[in-house]
Amino acid sequence: MGKIALEELEFFAKHGVLTEEQIIGNRYRVDVEVEADLEKAARNDKVEDTVDYGHLYNIIKREIDIPAKLLEHLAGNILNGILAEIPKVDSAKVVLHKYNPPIGGVCKWSKITLERRRKV
């Protein structure tokens, strides 16, 4: 087993419960970590035996471009995409940050973490 991570991916998107958030948009940070069997890739140096970083990024980008009210929903959609489209992935973890959430005070970001394992 091994882990692959894409960290501090930044996006601008229009997520949120408030109408203003859906119109104005905000910055988001995504950290993703996946577990997969990387031993074959470690031995033979062939890209087809590992998780394609580009494919992983494209799933995240696709889902972040679809407006959602809740970060939990967005993170769940990212996990669903990863597990549906990349069979080598056994489990995935998504950490989603929303910069300057509208809470009425100073806050760098709100953050949620979701993890999911492939059902056997």
Annotated catalytic residues are: 98
**Distance separating alpha carbons of residues 5 and 32, to the nearest angstrom:** 5
Beta-carbon contacts of residue 93 (< 8 Å; ≥ 6 apart): 32, 33, 34, 113, 114, 115
3-state DSSP call for residue 18? coil
The answer to whether 8 and 60 have CB atoms below 8 angstroms apart is no
Question: Based on the number of CB atoms within 10 Å of its own CB, is 75 exposed (0-12), middle (13-18) or buried (19 or more)?
Answer: buried
Q: Which of 30, 33, 34, 32 is nearest to 96 (CA)?
A: 30
